[in-house]
Copies of this chain bind each other. A is one copy, B any other.
Amino acid sequence: MPTYQAQVFVTLRPSVLDPAGTAVKSALEHMGHDNISQVRIGKLIELSVTALDEGSARSQLNSITDQLLANPVIENYEIRLIPVKELTAH
């Protein structure tokens, strides 16, 4: 069975306050970077999945992300899959 390298990007929904992002923005302003705005902090989870095909890998990852990796009430997520063969070709 093929192995896929997966990246799960978890970000706060736009309507949810992000105190960590606000703190980073304020630190950047103190450092003189006043051309930066809308700082939001999210998570990036990388994992390897061995599955029959891309479809089944993706549906398993959707279920894992809904149950464990993200909080669907306050977070959005996006899943990117790369077959490992394609990875090693670089």
Contacts and interface: CB of A to CB of B under 8 A. Distances in A.
Interface residues of A, number: 32
A43 interface: yes
A11 B52 CA distance: 28
Contact of A33 (B31, B38, B42, B64): B64
Contact of A48 (B37, B50, B68): B37
Contacts of A68: 24, 27-28, 31
A67 interface: yes
A63 to B, nearest CB: 9
A39 B45 contact: yes
Interface of A: 9-11, 21, 24-25, 27-28, 31, 33, 35-51, 60, 64, 67-69
